[in-house]
Amino acid sequence: MAFTVTPDSVIGEILDYDGTTAQYFLEMGMHCLGCPASRAETLAEACEVHGVDCNELVDKLNAHCNQ
């Protein structure tokens, strides 16, 4: 079954599913991936704080997780 990322997906769950997705969070300037607070954020919340297009990141993560 495919893993689907949405704007409401929790960052920690994405990282737990595939740790290699960390590169996408680091690229957007999110360097605090080990912090419990950041792992509990939704993708939409993190994108808003970091000024990143959430839909674009969702597309990248889904392509990566389901290749």
* Whole-number pLDDT of residue 67: 84
pTM of the predicted structure, to 2 decimals: 0.88
Q: What pLDDT is recorded for position 33? A: 80
Average pLDDT over residues 29-48: 87
Span 33-44, average pLDDT: 86
What confidence category does residue 64 fall into, taking pLDDT thresholds of 50, 70 and 90?
very high
Q: Which residue has the higher pLDDT, 8 or 32?
A: 8
Q: Token pair of 47, please?
A: 């994108």
